[in-house]
Structure 1
Amino acid sequence: MPAKPLAQLPNRRLLARVAAATLVLAAATPLTIAYAASPSAGVSPTAVAPGGRVSLNVTGCGTKTGLASSTAFGDVRLTPGNLEAANLFGNATVFSNANAGAHSVTFECGGAGGQRVTVSLQVTTGAARGGLGGSIGAMSSGQIALGGTMAAGALGTGVWVLRRRSRMS
């Protein structure tokens, strides 16, 4: 097929305008789709004892402010996790006298009348783990025996190395 003469090629300015318009539309489309959808929220952990702490997270608000409220912990202001405000975060301490059972947590984007999403938080019976932050759980007698043996072995090896050094000197 022979090459077309330059006179038959489309106008370069027209092509540049079409390309620029396409780029603007392509850049704006993900933002429109992302914020047109309803926000999604989460509470972690989903089950907690009275006095325990929970992390609150909502995505898809498109605002830099938010509020989470529940009968389990009251109102908590949410702050953005990044400059685009794609995620809003907060922490709450469950009331020490909170009733056991399911509590609704309502996340509200922006000011009054903003988008809302509701999730559930389960308040369990009992008290929050304190002391070491719950880092030590129940251990079996086998684990205790193994730990004791390892500690005694390390102590014995240390004594043997020190005595051997003192003989060599």
Structure 2
Amino acid sequence: MPAKPLAQPSNRRLLARVAAASLVLAAASPITLAHAASPSAGVSPTAVAPGGRVSLNIAGCGTKTGVASSSAFGEVRLTPGNLEASNLFGSATVYGNATAGAYSVTFECGGSGGQRVTVSLQVTPGAARGGLGGSVGVMSPGQIALGGALAAGGLGTGIWVLRRRSRMT
């Protein structure tokens, strides 16, 4: 019995057309979203006093490394926020002697030669707010007495519980 061909000539033409159409569609389809669009970056807050901290974020790099640099704070390495490295994060402290004005912050994906995005950071006049956050202020004698009574009551209750436990065993 003669061998039967694998595909009839009409089937071969159909397969060739499907292969050609697939090739055209593959060539015309956009590349992955992470690499198709240019990255977007941000600094938060956008206005800060000298000595203040800013958060740095860049999305859409498609790499697991990045750098943000500015004359307001120097160079900061950015690290991925997830396994896909769709966002890179970092933080920086603005130099305490920075003068008021606008500073550019340059984000670079993957190190030297990667995609770049530049945003603006405004350094405002004045010092960064810091310190104890309002935990120290003027207290009235009544507030001091109430705090002392609560502390003494807590101490007395603790001693009573410990002595009661020792009698039970």
- TM-score grouping bracket, smaller chain normalisation: 0.5 to 0.7
TM-score by length of 1: 0.62
Matched residue type, 1:116? R
Deviations 1:75-118 (A, max 9, x none): 00000000000000000000000111000000000021100000
Contact 2:104–2:121 (CA under 8 A) maintained in structure 1:
yes
Structure 2, unaligned runs of 5 or more: 1-10, 136-142, 144-169
The runs of at least 4 consecutive aligned structure 1 residues that moved more than 3 Å come to none
Q: For residues 82-161 of structure 1, what are the structure 2 equivalents within 5 Å?
A: 82-133=82-133
C-alpha separation in 1, matches of 2:38 and 2:104: 18
* Number of the residue aligned with 1:53: 53
Contact 2:52/2:94 (<8 A) preserved: yes
Query: Aligned pair count?
Result: 121
Match of 1:159 in 2: none
RMSD: 3.1
Aligned to 1:6: none
- Measure, in 2, the Cα distance between the counterparts of 1:36 and 1:112: 20
Cα distance in 1 for partners of 2:30, 2:82 equals 21
The one-letter amino acid paired with 1:78 is L
2:42 corresponds to? 42
CA distance in 2 between counterparts of 1:121 and 1:75 reads: 14
- In 1, are the aligned partners of 2:30 and 2:36 still within 8 Å (CA)? no
CA distance, structure 2, for counterparts of residue 86 and residue 120 of structure 1 = 22
Identity among equivalent positions (%) equals: 76
Q: Distance in 2 between matches of 1:114 and 1:66?
A: 9
